[in-house]
Amino acid sequence: MKQQFLGIRIGLLLLAFGTESSADAQETVQLTKQIATKVDPDVPVINPLPVSFHYDPVIREERLFDGSIRVHLCLGLDNADSMRGPLVAEVHLTDLRHSSRTHVRYVPLVIDRDVFRGDSARLASSPQPESVKNARDNSAYQFHVVRYAHFDLENRGWEAPLLAPARVYRLFVHLHREAESQGPHTRLGQVPYPFYTATSGSTRLDRARKTIVMRTFKEFYYRLNGWQTGEKYPMDCYAYYMWATGFCTVGNQNGRTQLHNLFDKENPYNLGSHIPELSGEGPIHGDYVRVPGHSFMLLSYDAQRGQVWTMEGNFNSTVEVVVRKVSPHWQVGHLRDRHIIPNLFRVFPDRPRLFPGFGG
C-alpha cells in the first residue's frame, strides 16, 4: 500500500509540474486545447490520502435539484489512524461555466458505515464493493476496512446561491481534523484527483443529461486509478459517446446511441459558433461535437474565456476532461427532449427518483 500511494504522490507531483503554467481554464487563448488539471492549483502541498470518491450512489439516485449536492467517499482505514476521528472536508468548488472562480467551503464529514474485508473476502477493483470484476490486477489498492462517508454542499439562505440546477461542477477535496478553526495546521491531505459532478433540473432532459455525464465522470475517474468498471466499449471517441448516451436515446441499439436517429434534417447539426447561443438557452452537457478525425462530449461553456470543457474518449488513448477554445467550424449535435426515451425515469411514492438499470 505504501508503494501504491508513493506512486500516487509522484504522479500528482508530475501532474502539478506539467500544468502549473497553464492549468485548465487558465490556459492562454493561443492554446486550442489543454487537459484539465488533476491537482488543486490553490494548495501547493500535495499529500494524497487513501481516500476515493464513490460515484455509484450518485448515478443510481436521480433526484430533482433541491439546492444541494452530496459527495460520497471511501476511506481506507488500514495504516491511516489519523482519519479515525471527526473529520471536516475542505471543498474547492468550481462551476465550469465560470471556471475562473473558486468557492471554498468547510463541511463536516458524515460517517455512514464501515465494511471489513477478511482474507477470504472477494477483492474489489476499487474500494467500492459493487465493482468486483478484474480484481486481481488491482489488488494493491485494497483495504481491509473501508469507511463509507459523505458530505453535503447546499445553498444558504443568507448568501448568493452556490449551486444551480443543470450545471456541471469540479471539486477538489482536502480532509482536516475537526478543530475550533480549520486551516493548514489541521489539514491531513487531499483526496487524489478531482471530483466532477452535475446537478439535475426540472425536466426529463435535464435528468438525462445529468446521468449521461455522471456515467462518463465515473469512467474517467476509474481510468485515472487504473480500475475496471466492467463497461464494454472500444477505446474510440465515437464509441464512447454512443455508450455514454445509449441508455436514454430513442432508436438506440444494444445500449448504443445511433446518431443518425438524433441529428438529421429535422434536427440538424449546429456550428461551433452557435455554442454561446445554445449555452444561453439551456444546458449543453451531454451534447455531441465532431471535428475532423475526432469527436467528444460537451460539458460546459465558459463565456468569459470563450472556451468549452469537454469529456473525451480516446484522447491520447485514454479518457480525459479537456478545455478547448471554441472553433466556429465544429459540428454540434444539441440534445432535445424528443431525443430522450419516453417514460425513462420512474417515480416511486416517498422514494428518490431512480434510473432503471442503476439500482432502480
- What is the predicted pLDDT for the residue at 266? 80
| Residues 112, 242: Cα–Cα separation, whole Å | 35
- What is the predicted pLDDT for the residue at 171? 98
- What is the predicted pLDDT for the residue at 31? 67
Residue 311 near residue 297, CB atoms below 8 Å = yes
Q: Which carries the bigger pLDDT value, residue 239 or residue 4? A: 239
Average pLDDT of the segment spanning 340-355:
60
Question: What residue segments make up the domains of the chain, in order of their start?
Answer: 2-27+38-225, 237-339
- Mean pLDDT (the chain) is 83
Q: What percent of the chain has pLDDT over 90?
A: 60
Contact partners, residue 328, CB within 8 Å, separation at least 6: 271, 272, 273
- What is the predicted pLDDT for the residue at 91? 97
Say whether pLDDT at 294 is over 90: yes
Say whether pLDDT at 27 is over 50: no
Confidence category of residue 45, pLDDT binned at 50, 70, 90: confident
Average pLDDT of the segment spanning 274-292:
96
| Residues 48, 32: Cα–Cα separation, whole Å | 31
| Residues 41, 303: Cα–Cα separation, whole Å | 22
- What is the predicted pLDDT for the residue at 11? 55
What global pTM score does this model have? 0.84
Q: Burial of 100 by CB count in 10 Å (0-12 exposed, 13-18 middle, 19+ buried)?
A: exposed
Average pLDDT of the segment spanning 95-108:
96
Beta-sheet strand order (sheet of 331-333): 33-35, 318-325, 307-315, 294-302, 288-291, 331-333, 270-271
Q: Which amino acid is at 44?
A: P
| Residues 356, 338: Cα–Cα separation, whole Å | 19
- What is the predicted pLDDT for the residue at 284? 98
Average pLDDT of the segment spanning 152-179:
94
| Residues 133, 333: Cα–Cα separation, whole Å | 34
| All three cell numbers of 55 | 460515484
- What is the b/e burial string over 36-51, where b = at least 16 CB atoms within 10 angstroms of the residue's CB? bbbbbeebeebebbbb
Question: Which residues are registered as beta bridge partners of 298?
Answer: 310
From the list 252, 71, 97, 95, the residue with the least C-alpha distance to 175 is: 71
| Residues 231, 58: Cα–Cα separation, whole Å | 17
- What is the predicted pLDDT for the residue at 117? 64
Q: What percent of the chain has pLDDT over 70?
A: 79
| All three cell numbers of 337 | 427532449
- What is the predicted pLDDT for the residue at 182? 87
Task: Please state, as a whole number, how many other Cβ atoms lie within 10 Å of the Cβ of residue 223.
Answer: 16
